[in-house]
Amino acid sequence: MASRVIVRAPSSTANLGPGFDVFGLAVDAFYDTVTLTKTRDATRIITDDDVPTDPKKNTAGLVVKKMQRKFGIDGGIRVSIRKGVPVGFGMGSSAASAAAAAVAFDRLFELGLDENSLVEFAGAGEEASAGTIHYDNVAASVLGGFVIVRTRPLDVIRIRPPADLRMCIAIPTISVPKKKTEVSRGVIPKKIRFTDSVLNLSNAATMVAGFMRKDSHLIGDAIRDVIVEPARQHMIPGFAKVKQNAIKAGALGVTISGAGPSVIAFSDNTADLKKISLAMSKGFATADTKSQTIICKPSRGAVGRL
Ligand code: HSE
């Protein structure tokens, strides 16, 4: 049995418009790396990045603690975290560390857990940042590709994305609250109109068809969310303009990446992706906001499959 395991897990975008808490897509924009080492000391977090070092407040730490309890592992574990995913921008940062930790723990102790169990353990880490457990980002980060999360019981369905699918992500340079996901979940309406639910459901179903048919245009066209996006967009300066500009520049669909504030445009490899990215930056500039843009593809997951 190895005494040290290193796992790298990708960033992810959750919701993809109408699939709140259900859809996730691993993206090759950024990666977190978690190294787990068996030690004689108590379990502790080692990192140079700006994340909590109390294992009970750190997403990877929570996962490791939970798995130690569950599998009766008494020895200490050193959890070294190298963040690549920007924290708090809707790119699945907490999920990437949690996913890498769950997969690394499984390997370190040769547990042979199945995919749903790995996602379930990784999901425990989300509580540290979102206040509640949601599995969309962790499922994408663990498994890669496009995922559909069913809960009660947890069951993740993974679909390989079309090879020509591309995303332009614009990350605004703004300060975000410490528990941003919890804050942005607080603005979601408690009651919704039945007709809105039908509309979102029809687009969510269309998106799944788009992934099954490997049709990037259908995927982009299905990114229409009349429930969560309208409730959250006020938290993103210039959102309407960013979206409008991206569509004008040739994007197939645009929405908030996860809980924001990053905005993600979907396209295929025939589009002028630099033009779309620039158009998004200009949209943020109309609200006096600088932004970083990144062009990316779907990614493999922490377990190494796409
Ligand atoms: N589905 C979650 C949310 C994703 O939108 O709150 C958070 O990254």
Catalytic position from the list 126, 255, 289, 293: 126
- Give the DSSP H/E element, type plus range, for residue 104: helix 93-108
Catalytic (active site) residue 37: no
- Average pLDDT (95-123) is 96
Q: What angle do CA 265, 261, 13 make, to 5 degrees?
A: 50
Summarize the confidence of residues 43-57 as an average pLDDT.
Answer: 91
Per-residue confidence at 50, pLDDT binned at 50, 70, 90?
confident
- Could you tell me where the beta strands, DSSP code E, fall in 173-272? 253-256, 263-268
Q: Is the pLDDT of residue 157 over 80?
A: yes
* pLDDT for 253: 98
* Predicted local confidence at residue 305, as pLDDT: 54
Average pLDDT over residues 62-78: 94
The pLDDT assigned to 228 comes to 97
Whether the pLDDT of residue 26 is over 90: the answer is yes
Nearest CA to ligand 1 atom 1: 21
Decide which of 54 and 128 is more confident. 54
User: What band does 120 get if pLDDT is binned at 50, 70 and 90?
Assistant: very high
Question: Looking at residues 251-266, what average pLDDT do you find?
Answer: 97
Spacing, Cα 110 to ligand 1 middle (Å): 31
126 as an active site residue: the answer is yes
Tell me what pLDDT residue 1 has: 72
Question: CA 183 to CA 263: how far, in whole Å?
Answer: 17
pLDDT in tens, 176-219: 887 788 889 999 999 999 999 999 999 999 999 999 999 999 99
> Are residues 239 and 254 located together in one domain of the fold?
yes
Domain of 234 in residue numbering reads as 165-296
Provide the mean pLDDT of the chain: 94
Atom of ligand 1 nearest to the CA of 228: 5
The CATH number of the domain where 189 resides is what?
A: 3.30.70.890
Among the options 181, 255, 289, 293, which is catalytic?
181
With a pLDDT cut of 90, the percent of the chain lying above it is 87
Q: Which atom of ligand 1 is nearest to the CA of 14?
A: 4
Spell 91-118 as b/e; 16+ CB within 10 A means b.
Answer: bbbbbbbbbbbbbbbbbbbeeebebbbb
Same domain, yes or no, for 86 and 232? no
Domain match, 169 and 145 both: no
- Closest residue by Cα to atom 5, ligand 1, is 259
Pocket test for ligand 1, best of 11, 27, 126, 185 (most atoms within 8 A of CB): 185
Please indicate whether residue 115 or residue 183 has the higher confidence score (pLDDT). Answer: 115
Residue 235 near ligand 1, beta carbon < 6 Å: no
155 and 267: one domain?
no
Instruction: Work out which ligand 1 atom sits closest to the CA atom of 257.
Output: 8
pLDDT value at residue 45: 94
Q: What is the pLDDT of residues 268-292, one digit of tens each?
A: 999 999 999 999 999 999 999 999 9
Give the mean pLDDT of 11-40: 97
Identify the pLDDT of residue 124. Answer: 87
Name residue, tokens 């390989």: 160
Q: Which pLDDT band holds residue 304 (cuts at 50, 70, 90)?
A: low
Residue 156: which CATH number? 3.30.230.10
- 143 shares a domain with 97: yes
Ligand 1 contacts CB of residue 211 (under 6 A): no
Same domain, 193 and 66: no
pLDDT at residue number 248: 98
Q: How many domains does the chain have?
A: 2
Residue with token string 């509309």: 199
Written as one letter, the residue type at 74 is D
What average pLDDT does range 222-250 have in this prediction? 97
| Lowest pLDDT segment from 46-60, 195-209, 212-226, 288-302 | 46-60
Pocket test for ligand 1, best of 16, 20, 151, 255 (most atoms within 8 A of CB): 20
Q: Which of 136, 121, 135 is nearest to 14 (CA)?
A: 136
145 & 231 share domain: no
Q: Specify whether 89 is located in the same domain as 174.
A: no
Together in a domain, 157 and 9: yes
Give the full edge-to-edge strand order of the sheet including 291-296.
Answer: 253-256, 263-268, 165-172, 291-296
For residues 15 and 104, state if they share a domain.
yes
Let me know whether 44 and 116 are in one domain.
Answer: yes
Looking at the fold, whether 152 and 207 belong to one and the same domain comes out as no
